């Protein structure tokens, strides 16, 4: 049986400030990159075999 997943801790103080600044500087991907990622995903999804 799986263990329960712990709650995600709330980020506070200096860590919260650092996190917020890093999130502001996240590089957005272009539409072309997004299309290539989706094509790769669809390919892997088509060859995946998840039998239970």
> Within the chain, how many helices (H) and strands (E) appear?
2, 0
Given a contact cutoff of 8 angstroms between Cβ atoms, the answer to whether 37 and 44 are in contact is: no
Domain ranges of the chain: 13-47
pLDDT at site 51? 75
What's the whole-model pTM score? 0.49
- Given this model, what pLDDT does residue 22 score? 93
The pair of three-digit structure tokens given for residue 46, joined into one six-digit string = 């088509």
The predicted-structure confidence for 1-52, as pLDDT tens digits, reads as follows 789 999 999 999 999 999 999 999 998 899 999 999 999 999 999 999 877 6
């Amino acid at each position: 049986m799986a263990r329960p997943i712990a709650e995600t801790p709330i980020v506070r103080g200096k860590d919260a400030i650092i996190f917020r600044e890093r999130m502001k500087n996240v590089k957005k991907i272009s539409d072309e990159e997004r299309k290539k990622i989706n094509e790769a995903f669809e390919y892997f999804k088509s060859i995946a075999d998840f039998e239970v």
